[in-house]
Amino acid sequence: MRHGKKINHLGRTTAHRHAMLSNMASSLILHKRLTTTVAKAKALRKYVEPLLTKSKDDTTHSRRMVFAALQNKETLKELFGTVSEKVANRPGGYTRIIKLSATRLGDNADMCVIELVDFNETLLEAKTAASEKATTTRRSRSRGGKKATGDAAVTSATEVSGEAVAPAATVQESAPEDTPTETLHNGESREEAQEDQA
């Protein structure tokens, strides 16, 4: 039994596992994203994130420590050049695992994409666009009170967000009129009670 054991051996010997993770880390640093199985991606994340932390401190010692793990000069140059500049202000969490819906054809293994967070241009553009949007909150739009009634509330909500917004609910200012209720006696239907009152 392997209760409490944190290392996933991935069905490989130690030397094979280290070689595989080293190659995958090199590919991730060079290409910025990688498609693999979920188990390998989780093992790779534990392997590559300490290397990315070491790359923030560009000293001879940290370069030698990273080279001992990766064994690739081109990867080392890319890591201490462009990658270290992008992750300089990030306090950890340099990678993102996105699970894919399709599984591998041969063995039905769960597949995913592991990528460096700071190099996903589409998500970075969406984040900057969201921060540049108007700073009004949902609370301030929905509680319009007196001035936001009917069509005016709909137009102001669509102008603020720029998206398709459901029309605002109509608010009645006065309570509906009370309707008389009929008291039904034993065995009497509503129709009979209405005839008796008429």
Is the residue at 176 inside a domain? no
Look at residue 162 and tell me if it is in a domain.
Answer: yes
- State the average pLDDT over residues 1-21: 93
Domain assignment present for 69:
yes
Asked if 107 and 23 sit in the same domain, the reply is: yes
**Which residues span the domain enclosing 84?**
14-122
For the chain, the domain total comes to 2
| pTM, full prediction | 0.64
> What is the signed CA dihedral for 185, 186, 190, 194, rounded to 10 degrees?
-40
Round to whole Å and give the CA distance between 167 and 155. Answer: 9
pLDDT over threshold 80, residue 151:
no
Q: Is residue 43 assigned to a domain? A: yes
Residue 154 pLDDT greater than 70, yes or no: no
How far is residue 70's CA from residue 26's CA, in Å, rounded to a whole number? 6
- Mean per-residue pLDDT for 26-42? 96
- Together in a domain, 76 and 110: yes
Residues 28 and 83 in one domain: yes
pLDDT over 90 (residue 142): no
Residues 45 and 108 in one domain: yes
